Structure 1
Amino acid sequence: MFTFDEEDFSEDMDYDFFVDDTLDEHPHSPLDQEIQEEAARKKAEKQYKSLKNVDPTDPIIMWWTEFTRESGKARLCGDKRCFFTNNRSYKDHKNMKAFLFYGTDFSPKDLPLPREKHHEWALFHEESPKNNYLLCHEAALSLFNLTSTFRRESDFPLTTQHLHSLQWLESDQFTKATSQKNRYQQQDGLAPVVYVQSDCDPPSDRDSYVKMLMKHIKVDSYGSCMNNKQLPHPINSPLEGMAHRDFYELVSRYKFAISMENAVCQDYITEKFWRPLIVGTVPIAFGSPTIRDFFPDNKSVLSILDFPVVEDLVSRIKELNLKDVDYDKLRNWKHTGVTNSELQKILRERTWTPYDEQTWSWGQVNFVEAFECFVCEHIHENLQREARGDPIISRWAKKEHYGCPMPLEFDKSGRYTQESKSYTWSKLWQNQLSIAENLKECVTQRLPYCGDY
């Protein structure tokens, strides 16, 4: 039985209500969440009467790059209210305060120019640097007042965006005993190491390293990169399958999982690192130079950076594969809990929850809305300071808010130190450096277009 307050719904709209009765392993949004979101939208429309001819009295925050698909909605952030929209007709509105940019789609050819002094720019970019090398350079980053990236130095960091919770990390739902993992190797012929990747030849040059690894130890590679084993249906989909419980079950059968990111940058950590830990498999990690700051404890992960050459890592894997007692020490944290105080602190102080259809519950705040409110509260704080005659808080992004180094390559020994002028990703990084410098000059001169500057 459903009960609604009539005031929550418009009389001139038809509503279809349905119950999703699929099995639990088929993720879906809770029905009450859909209803409440629709109710909230209708209340906002009533407040502003019609979104077609709205003249917001609240500070306007606009997603210049399409991201949330929000045409116009007033929302409270604590006791402060802002009007969020993607409608560019508000660009020159007197209450226009901040433009939000999704990093992957940020382009010099499409910017709200000329830039007004009272307009703040905010960057939201949780993605890999390979998506937009322009933002690796300080000249481009310095155009933004506020940032939200995977870097802990950013104003609103998203470093743990792929980690649902401490409880989820510590769960033993998929964890297999070492004796079981041994049987999978002996009876089913599984390799000690698993690799699942279909994004081949990325800037981190991980494929080169995995090829070197394969020369010395058996690796089951299920993705399209160096494929030698097929994923079963229904988990053979590159995206949907990676979050399926059957995929978690598969990874849990292996002792080690290669967890190499597609790019190297401080604090860039994705599900490739967390997934093996969640299922009780030891990650072989590479990507963030600061990855050790996020180990559950100091013996839970094999970092490629700790092994001078690839043969050293191979020797360690083989040694651990034969000595169950030593291998179990790497997974002891699954029984004692996470002891990394830095990781505990980050999760404890996090004001948002990563969005995941399988673990999401009504009432949680996703990191996009939390970032929007962060910007809203910043704007209101400066408005209050202006009203009092106090100087406003001026923020400008620095290179440390995102800037990622030029991509390198692995040498023949497995050291990630080799520079190459012919390397495609390095050339792209260098090319974007000059574009970033030109863009900064163009915007500073308040020109109306910077796409061809």
Structure 2
Amino acid sequence: MTTPSSRSYKSFLIFVGWLAGFGTCLLFFQYMSQNCSSRPFILHDQSNVAPHEKEGISSNTDPTPTTPPAAQPEKPILLLWVWPENYRWDFSDCKTFYNIDGCHLTDDRSLYNQADAVLVYHRDIKWDLSNLPPSPRPPFQRWIWLHAESPTNTKKIPGLENLFNLTLSYRHDADISVRNLLTVSKTPKKEFELPKKNKLVCWFVSNVDPSTGTGTRMKYYEELNKHVKVNVYGNMAGSRMKDEDYYPTLASCKFYLSFENSVHKDYITEKLNGPLTVGTVPVVLGPSRENYEQYAPGDSFIHVNDFPNASALAQYLLKLDKDDEAYRRYFDWRKYVSATPHLTIINQEFIPYICHACEYIGRHKEYKQAHNIYDWYFS
């Protein structure tokens, strides 16, 4: 049974609780009115604000964690087994000069079992194959056969025929074909300014060993030199030209003897691109005119096969020397075609080969085989 005193006590407690609750609500509404009056409600664009700087988000207790960026796939590894001709250069040149950065290029042999591809230079392979990468190779790994010499100057090392997966060569039909092609422009360019010329015909040559196939070009040179003066540089002249003098000297010549040491399909080396780049007319001796025209405009060079003999060629060069308008027509192609600008490294032929192998490995993951490289290369 409830007594009057107990009922009064309960009523008092209810009243005190209600009063406390009312006071709390009063304080809350006062706080909100003060803050809302000083900072109106505005929806801010926080798309460019770092997550830890957004309003209401703590850098330590982020209630809405963002999805981390997707991990970048690892670049495939291309292992350079040996440096061709022991010529070393900075691998970053691939990015600097060719904008190629599609693989991890290395010469660290400890990465052999991880390497997606191994590049082997033919002329560095020992006759007993003892310096080849170890076998068995990882099942995913591809071996690349690098060779830049003509068939005339290629030794058939026994046992290599079916070892490789990919061929890397100047040949147009190689798996990885490396050519310093000229770039066609869609719009006419400004008139090309010829460098000053103080020499008529020039030739830079170091290899005069007839066993390497140079006999043909030496005979042609000797006959041509009887009818027009040829300025000779390099070991044949008694000393090797300094690298920094190569292009300035080449540019000072009206014509350059771009004579290959042997005649084979697609065997067209830097002897063509060098003079085209600096503004000198190449006089070519190599494969057919049709083959040359696959890589350069037909009116940008003179082919020895266009003349019955060296004497007729000499007379034509002397005629062009006195006819500026006719000579300049050999540069009309520059209105629509750009010459390769990589002058700083063009003397080292293996750099573009290795860089383009890196590009290939970065784009092609499929496994393949090159069956009997000799049957193909000597065909």
> Is the shorter-chain TM-score for this pair beyond 0.5, marking a shared fold?
yes
2:293 aligned partner:
292
Indicate if the aligned counterparts of 1:129 and 1:263 stay in contact, CA closer than 8 A: yes
1:304 deviates by 1.7
Q: In the alignment, which of 101, 118, 125 is matched to residue 106 of structure 1?
A: 125
Give the total of aligned pairs.
Answer: 281
1:157 aligns with 2:156: no
1:285 deviates by 0.6
2:233 aligned partner:
222
What is the letter of the counterpart of residue 280 of structure 1? G
Mark the structure with the bigger radius of gyration: 2
Q: In the alignment, which of 56, 62, 70 is matched to residue 79 of structure 2?
A: 62
Cα-to-partner distance string for 1:323-371 (whole Å, 9 max, x where unaligned) = 444333333323x333xxxxx8xx9xxxxx9865489xxxxx9663442
SS of equivalent residue, structure 1 residue 294:
coil
What is the letter of the counterpart of residue 119 of structure 2? L
Equivalent-residue separation in structure 2 for 1:131 and 1:105 (angstroms): 17
1:141 deviates by 5.3
Equivalent-residue separation in structure 2 for 1:397 and 1:276 (angstroms): 37
SS of equivalent residue, structure 2 residue 155:
helix
Equivalent-residue separation in structure 2 for 1:215 and 1:313 (angstroms): 12
2:278 aligned partner:
279
1:195 aligns with 2:203: yes
Equivalent-residue separation in structure 1 for 2:322 and 2:75 (angstroms): 65
What is the letter of the counterpart of residue 394 of structure 1? K
Equivalent-residue separation in structure 1 for 2:326 and 2:299 (angstroms): 10
1:270 aligned partner:
269
1:302 aligned partner:
302
1:197 deviates by 2.1
Mapping 1:20-99, distance limit 5 Å: 61-66=78-83, 84-91=105-112, 93=113, 95-99=114-118
Equivalent-residue separation in structure 2 for 1:356 and 1:257 (angstroms): 17
Equivalent-residue separation in structure 1 for 2:344 and 2:375 (angstroms): 29
1:123 aligned partner:
145
1:208 deviates by 2.3
Equivalent-residue separation in structure 2 for 1:224 and 1:148 (angstroms): 29
1:59 deviates by 6.3
1:207 aligns with 2:221: no
SS of equivalent residue, structure 1 residue 284:
strand
* TM, length-normalised to structure 2: 0.58
1:200 deviates by 2.8
Equivalent-residue separation in structure 2 for 1:313 and 1:65 (angstroms): 43
2:330 aligned partner:
330
SS of equivalent residue, structure 1 residue 225:
helix
1:307 deviates by 3.0
Distance 1:258 1:157, change over 3 A: same
Unaligned 5+ runs, structure 2: 1-70, 92-100
Indicate if the aligned counterparts of 1:285 and 1:302 stay in contact, CA closer than 8 A: yes
279-288 vs 395-404, which moves further: 395-404
Equivalent-residue separation in structure 2 for 1:217 and 1:58 (angstroms): 55
* TM, length-normalised to structure 1: 0.50
1:314 deviates by 2.7
Unaligned 5+ runs, structure 1: 1-46, 48-56, 72-79, 185-189, 231-235, 339-343, 348-352, 360-364, 383-392, 406-453
Cα-to-partner distance string for 1:74-113 (whole Å, 9 max, x where unaligned) = xxxxxx997654333444x3x4543221233233331124
Equivalent-residue separation in structure 1 for 2:345 and 2:151 (angstroms): 28
1:394 aligned partner:
368
2:44 aligned partner:
none
1:257 aligns with 2:256: yes
1:18 aligned partner:
none
What is the letter of the counterpart of residue 396 of structure 1? A
Indicate if the aligned counterparts of 1:104 and 1:131 stay in contact, CA closer than 8 A: no
1:133 aligned partner:
154
Cα-to-partner distance string for 1:167-191 (whole Å, 9 max, x where unaligned) = 8xx8867615xxx75xx5xxxxx4x
Indicate if the aligned counterparts of 1:129 and 1:404 stay in contact, CA closer than 8 A: no
1:309 deviates by 2.9
1:375 aligns with 2:361: yes
Equivalent-residue separation in structure 1 for 2:227 and 2:317 (angstroms): 11
Indicate if the aligned counterparts of 1:61 and 1:376 stay in contact, CA closer than 8 A: no
What is the letter of the counterpart of residue 205 of structure 2? Q
SS of equivalent residue, structure 2 residue 357:
helix
Indicate if the aligned counterparts of 2:277 and 2:341 stay in contact, CA closer than 8 A: no
Indicate if the aligned counterparts of 2:250 and 2:256 stay in contact, CA closer than 8 A: no
Equivalent-residue separation in structure 2 for 1:195 and 1:274 (angstroms): 14
1:166 deviates by 5.8
1:145 deviates by 0.9
Equivalent-residue separation in structure 2 for 1:318 and 1:70 (angstroms): 44
What is the letter of the counterpart of residue 110 of structure 1? N
SS of equivalent residue, structure 1 residue 277:
helix
The percent of aligned pairs where both chains have the same amino acid is 25
Indicate if the aligned counterparts of 1:70 and 1:85 stay in contact, CA closer than 8 A: no
SS of equivalent residue, structure 1 residue 247:
helix
What is the letter of the counterpart of residue 237 of structure 1? M
Equivalent-residue separation in structure 1 for 2:146 and 2:235 (angstroms): 30
SS of equivalent residue, structure 2 residue 377:
coil
Indicate if the aligned counterparts of 1:175 and 1:280 stay in contact, CA closer than 8 A: yes
SS of equivalent residue, structure 1 residue 160:
coil
